[in-house]
Amino acid sequence: MQNPLDHAARVLAETDPVRRYHAAKAAAEAAAAPYKQAAEEARAQLIAQHGGNVAAAARDLGLTRQALYQGGKRDAAKGSGTAGAEQIQPARHFDSPEQARDALRDWAYEQQEVTDRLDVLLLGALAAGADPVDISEDSGVSLDTLRRIRPAGNITVSRLDEYGPEINDFARAVRARAAALRTAATSTAEHRAADIWHHAAREIARNAAPVALMPDDGPRKEDFGTIDEFIEAVVSRKRSEEEEAEDTKPLSPSASAGPDAYLAATYLAFRREATRGPLWSERTPEEAAAGEAVQAAFGELADAILHLRTTGQVPPALLTEAS
């Protein structure tokens, strides 16, 4: 029998990266094949020991019934060495590869949002006292994953009252901050940061605090020195309301789970944008400054959401600007 270490040494000594890649992949699959076969045989034996009860076998392995079943199907498919599956319905039509890739990126974004929602959902279930085995069965997440995400100490639970006024106050405060930034902006970086706050204000209001979108009493003539100023304020208000009405994008999937779930996912999305790294290093100084301002804006928004969910209160700095 060939020594695996000798085989590995020859693969690593291959100088052509294409040949080395394919050789390494083939060697890894060949080396793993006996273990995959042993795992499949053990899986079948365990199910047989439980009299065909897949759920019971899955519990012994720390898996869900679905994961154990699907894992067996995947292993069988990988081991068959054949290609070609039965197509049940026509594939989607795309006019170009670019259009297809755009759709794939949209799908990946949606999957990321689902992932963003999952950890806080699982931790919430653990904090509520749900049995980890039940959580695993209901969610399809392995017990190992539950153990991985569980903190060493107590689980911190959101203190946000979804039926209290704080969410609407928060949305209005973010909108006031966005308006203040737009008014004060003079540089490209400041305008970009203001745009991020403005977009965030609209999305938070639409998905978590629709009451914040309700109009107030509107401009009053007695509050303005001249009739022209009053007319300008009315026109500006009308333009703003039309801008809100034109935003017909569907609500975020997280919004259906409630404001707190939406804000939890939004926090992670904003934090990700704030920590992407030096995306602007190869651009002009002005573009680099704008990129840094955008990342800073996302960081400030993430911090504000974290404060709201952790304390149940609107950050004082935002309340000061909104007043």
Residue 320, pLDDT above cutoff 60:
yes
Alpha-carbon 320 to chain mean position: 30
Percent of the chain whose predicted confidence (pLDDT) is above 70: 75
Task: Report pLDDT for 253.
Answer: 55
Out of 12-26, 158-172, 218-232, which region has the weakest mean confidence (pLDDT)? 218-232
Give pLDDT tens digits for 77-129. Answer: 444 444 566 778 899 999 999 999 989 988 887 777 777 788 889 999 999 99
Task: Report pLDDT for 270.
Answer: 92
- The average pLDDT across 139-165 equals 86
Residue 15, pLDDT above cutoff 80:
no
Return the domain boundaries, the chain: 18-79, 105-149, 166-322
Give pLDDT tens digits for 240-299. Answer: 655 554 544 445 655 667 889 889 989 998 998 898 765 545 578 888 888 889 999 999
CB distance 301 to 200 below 8 Å: yes
pTM for this structure? 0.60
Task: Report pLDDT for 308.
Answer: 95
3-state SS string over the chain? CCCHHHHHHHHHHCCCHHHHHHHHHHHHHHHHHHHHHHHHHHHHHHHHHCCCCHHHHHHHHCCCHHHHHHHHHHHHHHHHCCCCCCCCCCCCCCCCHHHHHHHHHHHHHHHHHHHHHHHHHHHHHHHCCCCHHHHHHHHCCCHHHHHHHCCCCCCCCCCCCCCCCHHHHHHHHHHHHHHHHHHHCCCHHHHHHHHHHHHHHHHHHHHHCHHHHCCCCCCCHHHCCCHHHHHHHHHHHHHHHHHHHHCCCCCCHHHHHCHHHHHHHHHHHHHHHHCCCCCCCCCCHHHHHHHHHHHHHHHHHHHHHHHHHHHCCCCHHHHHHHC
Residue 131, pLDDT above cutoff 80:
yes
